[in-house]
Chains A and B, each alone.
Chain A
């Protein structure tokens, strides 16, 4: 008995220690980034990064904010595309997943395959570009940041699996009571799969929030760029300067106005911050969602 108890405590302790270590190794980089963004540049050069800001300063944030009303514009664009895009996207996904989940739907198999096929084969970058810019004429139109991401087959299949778990008796009963398909979907099926819908919502929100490629390809209007594109631009500009222009040209370059290390950290905080906040609210759905999806998917 005693031995048993001891073993239990021991295994629990070990498990906890491992989890603590894992948790810390996830947490510490964030803390370091946040602390670095508040540290003065000189301190970082002298002492390196630390868990707590030495010589607390807001200079990096001032620099990132000051140098650009662009940052605020970028925030506005990203928030707009994220909110509008993810709502529309979830709506589309729900409406596509529902018929696919109904075994009594005549074309179910055909449409399943039709969707699945696009997961295996896609048009590729250049045809997509030609389609969007030449035929749909979406260049420099904010819709281009929303439409291409609006439908995701993987998400649809995930949601389909959720819907399939709902006993068929539920919608059969509703149908007998005279409910239309829309009513069944939005008043019975969706409320019963909140977890699944929330998971999808989180996925698409992340996708919209992190979007920069569409912006690179189709947006030449500097006023309408997404946050991640704004940041990736600044970062790639720095990296490129360091790596590529080492030769003849380097000496003629004015590198004085490139943002420095702490500014990069500040940008990192600005980019990830809001999403981390959102994540906290979604987490309870998210973990549940992952489990169900993986077992049944």
Chain B
């Protein structure tokens, strides 16, 4: 009995010892801002970097940053419970694909940001983005989050090794449609008969088919404009376009332009051409340079669809101010600091010069292999315009991105943000079906029967309810405009 009591006492003593956590000391006048992001911030140098950031913030702006990184897979879960529990915090990453912006706004999670507030506390951030961008984040005419400026426009694009163009005598100028791409593939086929030539995905081709995603690119429900120019919600998987695309993919496989097997290229004696050298993907400014470097041979690219700026392009990365925040103005000031103070933003994204990266030119850096700090991606907290570029990125990336954003056609539905709260069941059902079928269809590895089966299963999963619900939301929004 005594022995037992002793053990118990020991355990309890151990408990109290470990639970005695230190309390933080707050300096007078300095406002602490808590910021949640869906990315782990790790590394042994983490504390050093964050201390350095806080030194600058404290002396220059009287602010202090408490940055909390949650791994992206658990972020939704954690934020949902925190928001429902009225937990006090200041800033959080929100978007249409993570920590849903529209759901949060309809639950009153974020402060409304008036133009006066934005002009007063974050004037440079406010000015740096066009009216269209601000329009895209509005819900019922009100702004609830600040966009992180990045590529906000989508267009389909073909990336190809330059070697293939030289060998076939094809010019990128002539590639305007998927049929042109098929023609090009046939020419490449004549020279490199045995390699798996192309990688393409339906979701990346939606701009090519003039379909605009509404809430998640894979999920059913996309907008097309009918002849009168009115927006119409469709199930993109039940369209002639999708049938044509799947037929095309099956043809590619039948002709040997694209296979599911790994086939080493017997003709590539000069350099080893990797699998799937040609890539149909979204347009990304400077993407050719990145690919050239990662693949070790020269890549060129061409955009072959209209560039459209839709709401989701903008709402892909936003920062919201929590309604539980005790000090929303300090939070807004913090957003302004990240967007204007390159030193702070670079520290958070890349760490300390010489330790985590070396400069290769005025605005470009190379990350060290043995870096001690893994920070936040630069699009996650603020504009990408004031951070360093990586050495494999185009030195003029920011200008190119700006031009691409500015030239894009703003979608007539800019500012429509769908609310899919009532559709959770149907969406998760559809997700299961899509995960089961889409990839095989997308690779051209299934037949028409499978396609019919896919559509039937989507119907069963409640795709009609999704489409009609979204349609009624859009009609309502459109009528209010």
Q: Which residues of B contact A146 (CB under 8 A)?
A: 15
Is B72's CB under 8 angstroms from A237's CB? yes
Which of A239-259 touch B at CB < 8 Å? 239-241, 244, 246-249, 251-254, 257
A186 at the B interface (CB under 8 A): yes
Q: Summarize A's interface: helix, strand, loop or mixed.
A: helix
Is A246's CB under 8 angstroms from B201's CB? yes
Chain B min CB distance to A249 (Å): 6
Is B85's CB under 8 angstroms from A130's CB? yes
A287 at the B interface (CB under 8 A): no
Chain B min CB distance to A241 (Å): 7
Interface size class of A (residues with CB under 8 A): 35 or more
Q: Could you tell me the distance between the alpha carbons of A247 and B316 in the complex, rounded to whole angstroms?
A: 10
Q: Which residues of A contact B86 (CB under 8 A)?
A: 130
A16 at the B interface (CB under 8 A): no
**Closest B-chain residue to A126, C-beta based?**
B84
Mask, B138-181, CB within 8 Å of A = 1, is: 00000000000011001000000000000000000000000000
Is B74's CB under 8 angstroms from A236's CB? yes
Mask, B179-217, CB within 8 Å of A = 1, is: 000000000000000000000010110000000000001
A21 at the B interface (CB under 8 A): no
Q: Could you tell me the distance between the alpha carbons of A133 and B82 in the complex, rounded to whole angstroms?
A: 10
Q: Which residues of B contact A254 (CB under 8 A)?
A: 367, 377, 390
Mask, B20-53, CB within 8 Å of A = 1, is: 0100000000000000000010101010000000
Is A141's CB under 8 angstroms from B19's CB? yes
Q: Which residues of A contact B449 (CB under 8 A)?
A: none
Q: Which residues of B contact A87 (CB under 8 A)?
A: 7, 11
B92 at the A interface (CB under 8 A): no
Chain B min CB distance to A126 (Å): 4
A107 at the B interface (CB under 8 A): no
Q: Which of B40, B87, B150 contacts A133 (CB 8 A)?
A: B87
Q: Which residues of B contact A247 (CB under 8 A)?
A: 154, 203-204, 217, 282, 316
Q: Which residues of A contact B4 (CB under 8 A)?
A: 186
B479 at the A interface (CB under 8 A): no
Q: Could you tell me the distance between the alpha carbons of A241 and B82 in the complex, rounded to whole angstroms?
A: 23
- A residues bordering B, Cβ < 8 Å? 68-70, 80, 84, 87-88, 91, 125-126, 129-130, 133-134, 140-143, 146, 182-183, 186-187, 216-217, 220-222, 232-237, 239-241, 244, 246-249, 251-254, 257
Closest 7 CB pairs of A and B: A236-B73, A233-B71, A251-B284, A126-B84, A240-B72, A129-B85, A240-B73
